[in-house]
Structure 1
Amino acid sequence: MTVPTLPARDRAQLTCTGVRVDRGGRRVLHDVEMKVSPGTRWGVVGENGRGKSTLLHVLAGALIPDEGEVQRVGTLALAEQETPAEDGRTVGDVVDEHLVDTRAALRRLDATTAALAEGRPGAEDAYTDALEAARALDAWDADRRVDVALAGLGAVGDRTRPLATLSVGQRHRIRLACLLGAEYDFLLLDEPTNHLDLAGLEYLTARLRAHSGGVVVVSHDRALLSDVATTILDLDPTRDGRPRVHGGGYAGYREGREAELVRWEAEYEQQRTEQARLGEALSEARNRLITGWRPDKGTGKHQRATRAGALARSVHRRQDELERHQVTAPVPPRRFHMPELPVRTGVLLLRAQEVSVRDRLRRPTTLEVASGDRLAVTGANGAGKSTLLSVLAGQVAPTTGRVHRARQVRVHLLGQESPHPTRRPARDLYERHTARLVTTGALTEGEVVGLGALGLLGSRDAEKPVAELSTGQQRRLDLALALATRPHVLLLDEPTNHLSIALVDELTEALHTTDAAVVVATHDRQLRRDIRGWPRLAVSAYEGAGVPGHASGHPHS
C-alpha cells in the first residue's frame, strides 16, 4: 500500500547556496542564495531572460544546477507559466494528482480500520500511524479546499470536464486552485496572476498572504508583489554580478535597487575619470619617449640610452596601470522606445455597432474610436473582452451588428498569447514581417522601424530562434511586431502579461502620450490604477435586458 508523503509544516526548509546555471555558453544564474521558511514569501524579479523560471526549476528539483546545492525539507509544488495545449486529462484527474497523498492516506486509514476491526496483529499501531497521517494532511477536508479555490479563482468545477475543451486561462486557474487546496509546504509560482480577473486576483492575494508555508513567486505583477512579498530577490545585473536580496517587501526592493544603481553609476563615472587621466599620462609619456629623450649636441650616448630606457619603463607602467583601471561599465536597463504612431485628426477610425458573437460576446456592444482616443475594456473572465478586441481587429466576424473602419486605417491587436514559436531567428521574423507590410502597401519604406530601435530585444536575443526565447522575450517580440505595423488603432489584450516591471512602466507611459488610439483590456490592478482616468466599457457575460454595452474612446460632455 502506498505510504503518503507528509508535509513538514514548521520543520519545512527550502534553501539554495551558491547556485549557478549555464546554458548555451551563457551564465543564466550566478551565486544565488535563498532561505525560504514557513511564513516567508519571496518575490523573484528581473528582466525577461534573467533566469527567474530557471531558478524555480532548480528549487523544485527539475533542474540540477551546474554549481551549488539545494536542500528541501517538506512538500512543494511548481506552477509554471504555460499549460500544455494537448492534454487528455479531465479536471478531476488534475485534482487527483495534487491530492494523491491525501487519497493514499484515506485508503490506508480505511485498510487499517478494517484490520483493527478484524483483530489482526499490529493493527492498532498501523491504525494510529494512518490516523496521524490523515490528520497531518487534513485529508477529509482536501476536496472541499480545492472546490473553494476553484470557485475563488473562477475556475471550472466540473471534474468530468476534459481539459482540452477549456481555454488556456481556465486550465491555468484549475492547476492553481489544486496547488492552493493541496496545502503544500512550499508553493513555487511562475506568473500566477496571468489569466485571473479582479475577483481571482484578490482571492489569490488573500490565500498567499494566509499560506502557512513558504512561497516563492516569480511575477511582474507590481500589485501582487506589493501586497504579498516579504523579501525580494533581484536577478537584474549588479556591480559585482551577484543577485541582490532586499528586505522590506516590494517597497524595500524599489528603494534598494535605486540606491544600487546610483552607487554603480557614481563608481562608473569615477572610473571613467581615472581612465581618462591615465590615458593622458600614457599619451604624454609616449610623446616624451619619441621626442623628449633626444639630448643636446655633445651629450654622450650612455646618457641618452639611460633616459630612453626610463621613459620606456614609464610608458609600460602607465599602460599596466590603465589596464588595471578598465571601466566596469554598468549594464544600463534596456529602454523601450515607442515609435511615432500615425494620427488622422477628425476621422472616426473605428465604429462597432451592436456587435455580438454567439456564445462568446453575448451582449450587443457599441463603441467608436477616433485618433488619440483611450478606452479601457473591463469585465470578468469569459465576458467576451478578448472576443470584442478580435472583432474590432477583423479576426472574428460578429454574429450580429457590424464594424466600420475608415479607409486605409491600420488596426493591430496584441493578443494575450504568443503564437506557436518557430525556429526562425527573431530578427529574421521581424524583418520579413516589415518587408511584407511594405510589399502589400500597408507601409512605406520610410515608416519601417528597425527592431533594435524599439529597445525590446538585445542584439544577442534578436539572433536566437524564437523557440529558444523565454516567454517574456517572445512577448517582447510580439509587441515589436505589433508596433512595426505603425497602427492608427492599437488594441492590447492583457499587454502586461510576461513583461518585466521596468518595461510595463515604460509602456504605460508611452500609451498615455502616443497619438494613436489605444484600447486596452486588462486585469492588471496596477495598470488599471494607472489608466483610471480613461473612459471605460464594461463587457458583461450575460445578455440581459436593458441598455447594451456602449462606449466612446473620448469623454463626452
Structure 2
Amino acid sequence: MPTSTILPARARAQLTATDIHLARGGVPVLRGAALTVTPGSRWGIVGENGRGKSTLLAVLAGTLEPDSGTVRRAGTIGLAEQELHAAGDATVGDVIDAALHDARAALRALDAAAAALAREERGAADGYADALHAAEALEAWDADHRVDAALAALGAERDRARPLAELSVGGRYRVRLACLLGAEHDFLLLDEPTNHLDDDGLAYLTSKLTTTRAGVVLVSHDRALLAAVVTSVVDLDPSRDDLPRVYGDGYAGYLAGRAAERERWVEEYDRQRAEHARLTAHLADAQDRLIDNWRPDKGTNKHKRATRASSQVRTFHRRQDELAAHAVTVPEPPLRLCLPELPRNATIALDGVTVAGRLARPVSLTVGPSGRLHVDGRNGAGKSTLLAVLAGRLQPTTGTRRVARSQRVGYLAQESPEPGTETARRLFAAAGGTVELASLGLLDPGELDRPVRELSTGRRRRLDLALVLARRPHVLLLDEPTNHLSIALVDELTAALGDTRAAVVLATHDRALRADVDGWPRLTME
C-alpha cells in the first residue's frame, strides 16, 4: 500500500474539535465551537443561515483552518459539501474511482504480495500479511458492490461513462453521496444530504445513517432526518452570549432546550428594555423638574429656592447614574419571519398541459381562492416543470394556463439564481416591492446593502423568498421551499403557509413539511 494511504481506525477513530474560532473579513463566523465525534455517535449541526454550519464541517474535515482552537483526527473522513461541480470532462466513473482509490490500490497490492509469496521472495510473508490487513481494514472486496448498491438506492446515475456536466446539481450530489456511503469511512460529514433525494433515497439514507458504525456529523434542515438520526445537536443559532449550545437527547432534546433558551432570552431582553425605558422616563422627568418645575413663585425666599434647586440637581444626577449603570446587555432576539397579509381572491388553472420531454401525461388542475395543493412524486416526475408552467416561466407544448391578468403570482424556484453584484435592497426594489424588505424578518439590516454574491447559500435563499413576497402575490408557487433554510425558519414558514389567505401550490420532499400539509389536496406525479 502507498505510504499516503490512511487506513480506517474503526473502534479507535476519534474526531475532536475544541474551542474553534474563525472569522471572515473581520466578521466572526464561529465562536467557541466544540464537539467530540466517536464511532456510532451521530451529531446534528443546526443554526440560522450564515452562522457557520458548513464552515464548521470544513474545519472538521481539515479543508479549512480555524483562526484558533484545535482539531484532532484519527481515522478516515468522507465529506459531502452542498454542491459537486462538474470539472472539465469528468465522468461518473471518475468520481467513483477517486472514492474507491484506496480500496482498489489495496487489492492490487494484495495481488502483488500474493505473487511475491508464490515466488518465495524474501520478506514476502510479511508483505502479504500487511497487504491482507490493509484490504481487510478497507473491506476492499465489496467496495464496488457497496457503491453500486448506494447508487441504485439513491436513484443516482450508474453509467460510469456519463459526463458530470450532463447531470443536474442534484444528480451530481447523489453520485458523490453514494460513493461516500459505499466507501466505509470512519466519519461521514454531510452538508444538507437530503436536498436532492426522493422518498426511496431518503429512506435509504436514514437507514444507512442509523445503522452505520461510522461517526456522523450532519448539517441539515430536514427535521425528519434529524429526529430519526442524531443523538446530539450543536446549535450555532444566535444566543444571549453568542456562543454555541450543545444539546443531548437527540432532536427532541434540542427542541426542548432551544425553546427554553429562547423563552429566557426574550424575557430577559424585554425586562431589561422595560427597565431601561422606565429609567429613561425618570431621567426625562427629573430634567423637566430641573429646568422648570422646581422654580417657586416670585416672592418666595431665596433660601427655599436654593434648597429646592440643590435637591433637583442631585435627583437629576442620580437618575443619570442609574440609567448609565443599566446598559441593555442582552442582544435583541433573532429575526422571525413575518409573512405580509396576502390577498385572497385568486384562481390559477391548467387544462391538458404537457411539456415535450419533461411532462408527458396531460395535467389539468384548478386552485381557487385560498386554495392549497401539494404536488407529490418521485424525482424526475415533472413537479418542477409543472410549477414552472403554473408560474408562466415555461410554455406548455399542449394545453393552456389560465390566470387573471390582475393576479400576482409568486414563484420560488428550487435553486437560487447565480448571484451577482446587486444588493438585496436593489433587487427587492427592482421586483416592485410593496412591503418593507426589513419587515419580513428574513435578512439582517447589515445584509441589505451587501452584494448578493457575498451572502451564504442560505441567506440567498432567504432573499429568494423575500423577492417572492415583494409584491404581495395572490398565488404562492413553492418548489422545495425548505432547501437551505434553517430549522427555525422552516417552522415559521410552515406556520405562515397554514395561515395565509393566498393560494399555495407546494412541491417538497421534506418529510416533516409533508406531514404538516398532509390534509392538503394532493396531486401525485408519475
TM, length-normalised to structure 1: 0.87
Map of 2:2 onto structure 1: 2
- Report the alpha carbon displacement of residue 297 of structure 1 after superposing the two structures with TM: 7.5
Note if contact 2:350-2:363 (Cα within 8 Å) is conserved in structure 1. Answer: no
Counting only pairs closer than 5 Å after superposition, residues 399-548 of structure 1 correspond to structure 2 as: 399-434=397-432, 448-540=434-526
Give CA deviations for 1:461-501 in whole Å, capped at 9, x if unaligned.
Answer: 11111111111111111111112243332211111111111
Change (3 A) 1:280 1:128: same
- Report the alpha carbon displacement of residue 504 of structure 1 after superposing the two structures with TM: 1.4
CA distance in 2, matches of 1:484, 1:41: 40
Matched, 1:119 2:117: no
Letter of the 1:510 partner, please give it: A
Note if contact 2:349-2:364 (Cα within 8 Å) is conserved in structure 1. Answer: no
Letter of the 1:352 partner, please give it: D
Change (3 A) 1:33 1:410: same
Counting only pairs closer than 5 Å after superposition, residues 260-271 of structure 1 correspond to structure 2 as: 260-271=261-272
Change (3 A) 1:54 1:316: farther
Give CA deviations for 1:56-91 in whole Å, capped at 9, x if unaligned.
Answer: 111111111111111111111211112215552111
Counting only pairs closer than 5 Å after superposition, residues 374-393 of structure 1 correspond to structure 2 as: 374-393=372-391
- Report the alpha carbon displacement of residue 280 of structure 1 after superposing the two structures with TM: 7.0
Give CA deviations for 1:167-201 in whole Å, capped at 9, x if unaligned.
Answer: 11111111111110011111111111101111111
Note if contact 1:44-1:216 (Cα within 8 Å) is conserved in structure 2. Answer: yes
Letter of the 2:57 partner, please give it: L
Note if contact 2:294-2:312 (Cα within 8 Å) is conserved in structure 1. Answer: no
Letter of the 1:497 partner, please give it: N
- Report the alpha carbon displacement of residue 401 of structure 1 after superposing the two structures with TM: 2.7
Change (3 A) 1:514 1:318: closer
Note if contact 1:350-1:406 (Cα within 8 Å) is conserved in structure 2. Answer: no
- Report the alpha carbon displacement of residue 131 of structure 1 after superposing the two structures with TM: 0.3
Letter of the 1:194 partner, please give it: N
Letter of the 2:146 partner, please give it: R
Letter of the 1:477 partner, please give it: L
Map of 1:215 onto structure 2: 216
Change (3 A) 1:298 1:530: closer
Q: CA RMSD in A?
A: 2.6
CA distance in 2, matches of 1:464, 1:494: 26
- Report the alpha carbon displacement of residue 273 of structure 1 after superposing the two structures with TM: 5.5
Residue 336 of structure 1 aligns to a residue whose secondary structure is coil
TM, length-normalised to structure 2: 0.92
CA distance in 2, matches of 1:499, 1:363: 32
Residue 185 of structure 2 aligns to a residue whose secondary structure is coil
- Report the alpha carbon displacement of residue 395 of structure 1 after superposing the two structures with TM: 2.2
CA distance in 2, matches of 1:508, 1:242: 28
Counting only pairs closer than 5 Å after superposition, residues 358-373 of structure 1 correspond to structure 2 as: 358-373=356-371
Note if contact 2:41-2:215 (Cα within 8 Å) is conserved in structure 1. Answer: yes
Note if contact 1:85-1:168 (Cα within 8 Å) is conserved in structure 2. Answer: no
Change (3 A) 1:314 1:112: farther
Counting only pairs closer than 5 Å after superposition, residues 117-516 of structure 1 correspond to structure 2 as: 117-272=118-273, 275=276, 319=320, 322-344=323-345, 348-353=347-352, 355-434=353-432, 448-516=434-502
Change (3 A) 1:319 1:14: farther
Note if contact 2:268-2:330 (Cα within 8 Å) is conserved in structure 1. Answer: no
Note if contact 2:354-2:363 (Cα within 8 Å) is conserved in structure 1. Answer: yes
In the alignment, structure 2 segments of 5+ residues that lack a partner are none
Map of 1:549 onto structure 2: none
Note if contact 2:461-2:484 (Cα within 8 Å) is conserved in structure 1. Answer: yes
Letter of the 2:495 partner, please give it: E
Note if contact 2:221-2:484 (Cα within 8 Å) is conserved in structure 1. Answer: yes
Residue 431 of structure 2 aligns to a residue whose secondary structure is helix
In the alignment, structure 1 segments of 5+ residues that lack a partner are 435-446, 541-557
Residue 498 of structure 1 aligns to a residue whose secondary structure is coil
CA distance in 2, matches of 1:316, 1:119: 98
Give CA deviations for 1:254-292 in whole Å, capped at 9, x if unaligned.
Answer: 111111122223333443455466657767887898899
- Report the alpha carbon displacement of residue 162 of structure 1 after superposing the two structures with TM: 1.0
Percent identity for Structure 1 against Structure 2: 60
CA distance in 2, matches of 1:161, 1:114: 36
Note if contact 1:20-1:68 (Cα within 8 Å) is conserved in structure 2. Answer: yes
CA distance in 2, matches of 1:386, 1:329: 44
CA distance in 2, matches of 1:69, 1:318: 48
Note if contact 2:117-2:128 (Cα within 8 Å) is conserved in structure 1. Answer: yes
CA distance in 2, matches of 1:395, 1:272: 48
Note if contact 1:349-1:409 (Cα within 8 Å) is conserved in structure 2. Answer: no
Give CA deviations for 1:500-531 in whole Å, capped at 9, x if unaligned.
Answer: 11211222222223222211111110111111
Change (3 A) 1:27 1:297: same
Letter of the 1:339 partner, please give it: P
Change (3 A) 1:482 1:269: closer
Which one is further off, 131-140 or 264-273? Answer: 264-273
- Report the alpha carbon displacement of residue 318 of structure 1 after superposing the two structures with TM: 6.5
- Report the alpha carbon displacement of residue 31 of structure 1 after superposing the two structures with TM: 0.8
Note if contact 1:186-1:213 (Cα within 8 Å) is conserved in structure 2. Answer: yes
Letter of the 1:350 partner, please give it: A
CA distance in 2, matches of 1:315, 1:370: 64
CA distance in 1, matches of 2:414, 2:110: 46
